[in-house]
Structure 1
Amino acid sequence: MEKQQARYVLGKRADDGRYPVTVDGAPTGTVHRRHGSWYATLPGHRIPERFGTRYAAAEHLVTLVDQGIRPTVPAPGDRPTFVLDLRTAGTGLAATRTYQHLVPDLRPTLNNLVRAVEAMARLAQLGWAPLQGYPGADQGWLMECRLCGWTGRRFWSHLRGRNGDPTPRPINRHPGCIPVADMPALLITLAQDRRRQCPCASPHPTTVDAALIALNKVDKALHDGAMLSAAIHARALLEPCPASTLRAAALRAAHDQRTSGQPVT
């Protein structure tokens, strides 16, 4: 087993899957695993490299410290490159919330955005409400159970099912939830919130043509480096909507059309 260097210490894994790292006794950053690779984070600095182990990622933080790089706290008014806190409309939810639509280390690609749209639509079907942005399939996602009000982290890879079976795991949702036998009736009641047409004051894209326009706007903003505009356009894709299922299907079809270059039939 690989041994830790004396200059850094890995702390206990947090609920979001990150391990805090101290270097020479000073809090420095974190390391976390995503899609089989390990990444290091240092507040105020972008670290794109991937590492094979958590120890290699932590050792990279030591290297940065030796180069004179230290964690920095954003000045008042500064915002992350892409992630933007936006007040959601709260449509279809019990209360209005502010949450980051994408976590900072998830790249703002159209593919990730469409996956986030699909995940949030499926959460609505399953009776979950996200309390933060989509973190990817294998990271703990903070959410609220709409059947009983429990809050905690669940893995999207478990909720979406596996190996072609769409049944979420575990079937009992979480410890302390209502009895499994009572869940179908309550989910049917919650399903009454969903619509086949978007009723929101600012219409969301629920047709392929509208979805193509929305994706093109985000893509152009990203290409131009206009991250604030990209985040605002992304809001139309990600904020709560009673027609989220229809929106997700339209955006997936539009994204596939853009990728293949073939019209959707």
Structure 2
Amino acid sequence: MHYGSGSVVPSRSAGFTNTGSPRPARPGQLDQMMADNIAGGADPAQINEMSHASAAALLDRVHHTQDAELVERVLTLVDREGVDVIAELWSSAEPDSLPGILWRLYLLRTWMRKNRESIARLWRAGEPVATTASAIAGVDQAPTEDDIAHIADSILAGAFTGDFAVALERAAAFTDVVALGLRIEARNMIARLKAAEGSDSSDSGISAMEKQVRTKSSRLMHTAGNLFVTAKDFRHGANLWRRGKLE
């Protein structure tokens, strides 16, 4: 997991990581005219209109299908096509909009699957005893890497095939615990540094180590803050959905 190095950015702009995927082919789920307009540099108003229309159409189509293959193609859209086209269409959408929320859900899944080992460890740090967050997110007290991958898939799948608000609440609960795990790890790093300072008489050695550790700790705290904001966006999205106002 690339802590604090741009892997997770403030939720108001993108939400999670740019996965570094190569330039993709156009995903089959996006209308061809929409994709052509994006490639041709449509104006912001057109992009905004297309982002809302495509998000609503995609969600509606999957909710009304019994085609397991179609559902699988939608869930693995970023895996197969890369993130670029979806980013151009949805990444600038506000987090209190349907395209903005779907963008964050797709990136959450990608981020979780790519960093499953680190995230499993952070969950165990942030949720050492099972609480309501475990129940809401559907996570065991000590998840494995495979558990994290399965949860990533099930959260996104739930958004398309189940109760959309419940999927957002699961995403929020999960993100909150991982963010807490990051904060705990950052604080533990500083605590270990202070212990080392008390036992080492080499001022120059401690000074160099202190700078490195404090920089990394600061990055972890920054990443945690961004995740907490994203969790709030998921909860707000759930409330808007239940009120029929997430568009």
TM-score range, shorter chain: under 0.3
* Larger relative strand fraction: 1
Give the TM-score of the pair, scaled to structure 1: 0.25
**Please, what TM-score do these two structures have when normalized by structure 2?**
0.26
Q: Which has the higher helix share?
A: 2
Higher relative contact order at CA 8 Å, sep ≥6: structure 1 or structure 2? Answer: 2
